[in-house]
Chains A and B, each alone.
Chain A
């Protein structure tokens, strides 16, 4: 049974960096059949895909245009997890953040982390 367990702070100050980690059990971050994503939910934007990391012949990353200049998603094969860093946050980045797996055959997000409520406030 695949599970994703998120960790990270729930409060970040404006202009600082939001950092979250998603630990994987029951699958591997290096799987050639999966992609590992970060998605957020806010009242103003609804569900918004932020980006993903995945391995095929090499490691790839894709990012949403809205955050591309501020985001980094990194795999950590030694700990079987992946991380999100979002720099220079503003109150508009306040949201519930989810990690999620996209499995190759289904192409949809079939496994989700529990969610982390992140508030950007001084």
Chain B
């Protein structure tokens, strides 16, 4: 199975900050990477797929980049509704696997 290592595990930031979350795969996943946002008591919500493609309805302050084994999620200017947990996931091979999540908290 492909292991996904996400960092940091938690992050404190302020409204308006630019934040970056990283995800490293244990092997090349050829841009087959998705990012999800999850709030307490809710299911994950798809933000980006294929590394950088924005899911319909997701604000453009969210962006993704990367290649090979290393990928990043960037939030350009944090809004109050962005404080949540973020998960990366590879779908290059079965089984699909997830990072352990990054909890983004208000500073």
Residues of A within 8 A of B (CB): 46-49, 62, 64-65, 98, 100, 102, 106-110, 112-115
Contacts and interface: CB of A to CB of B under 8 A. Distances in A.
A113 B43 contact: yes
A106 B49 contact: yes
A47 B49 contact: no
Contact of B43 (A49, A62, A98): A98
Main secondary structure of the interface of B (DSSP, over half): loop
11 contacts: A46-B99, A49-B97, A62-B94, A65-B95, A98-B44, A100-B43, A107-B50, A108-B46, A108-B49, A109-B44, A109-B89
B44 A47 contact: yes
Given A46-B100, A98-B43, A108 B95 contact: no
B7 interface: no
Interface of B: 1, 32, 34, 36, 41-46, 49-50, 53, 55, 87, 89, 91, 94-101
A106 B33 CA distance: 10
Contacts of B34: 107-109
A47 B94 contact: no
B75 to A, nearest CB: 19
B94 A108 contact: no
A47 B43 contact: no
Contact of A48 (B50, B94, B98): B98
